[in-house]
Amino acid sequence: MALITMRQAITDALREEMHRDERVFIMGQEVGVWGGTYAVTRGFYDEFGEKRVRDTPISEMAIGGVAVGAAMGGLRPVAEFMTINFAFLALDAMVNHAAKIHYMFGEQMRVPVVYRAPGGGGRQLGATHSHTPDVIFAHFPGLKVVSPATPYDAKGLLKAAIRTDDPVLFIEHHTLYQIRGEVPAEDYIVPIGVSDVKRQGDAVTIVAYAQGLQVALEAAKQLAQEGIEAEVVDLRSLRPLDMGPVVESFRKTFKAVVVEEGYRSYGIGAEIAARLQEEAFDYMDAPIKRVAQLEVPLPYSRELEQSALINAGRVVAAVKEIL
């Protein structure tokens, strides 16, 4: 097991899959000569050549659409958006074509495309570059949406995404590129649509994903110092959404807090709360609490931005409120 960063885990997954399958190629703005906005594809242009590492025009609409066509033609494109904020420009290609073609044409065609997109706040990128719009994409059947929180999950999920015959949006929180974790040297995948219990506990269930998982684990650490053992469940995938481990944990703790960096209104937390109410109402001892980003465009000022984002203190407070 090597201790590597999430950036390295994603890089390794891409390189290994390109060596494994010659149909896999990378496309996006500055992915070639420059090596990617966050240096994930650095060196790939020299290693694989311009045929398989394609620098594109500055047009997310073009990237999204060309990737669909390439996938329908038998290739397996991995299309990178500089940031998920720009994926709005490719929304038609992603949700009206990639997500629907297999269904609308009676399974005659598949669209095995992966869209990689850094997202989230916390890097002082301003309001228009700091969205967490994950729930928008997860709303549409046919498009799988994953968002890992650890290097191990990032590598395994990306490999699974490239190998599946379905379109996948792979969201990388850009504050997580530097976190380190153990990753096996041998080939492996993490199944898409399977949640994972990251910490055992019996006092309260904390549900999170991506950056929210790191916040939840820190909150659980602080709570443990006061004798409160929280169980932390990492969703990993938003569509398909695996509620099994969440419900199982809730039936043990009878209380839950959902942590997400997106906005509270109409968010992932609302979906989790609704499903727990539907599937485990008899086990509910307290209202399900949601901890989310404050509903303002994220400020550029570091102090203001951090005050609007989720943090461990807010999660601890939510847990104590329902306890």
> What positions carry a catalytic annotation?
60, 129
Contacts 24+ apart (CB under 8 A), 12-15: 12/155, 12/183, 13/154, 13/155, 13/156, 13/158, 13/159, 13/162, 14/40, 14/41, 14/44, 14/78, 14/158, 14/162, 15/44, 15/47
Tokens of 19: 């060596």
Distance CA 21, CA 27 (A): 16
At residue 58, what is the residue type? I
Pairing of strands 204-208, 76-80: unpaired
Distance CA 153, CA 67 (A): 24
Distance CA 16, CA 258 (A): 35
Contact (CB, 8 A) for 233 and 186: no
Tokens of 4: 């590597």
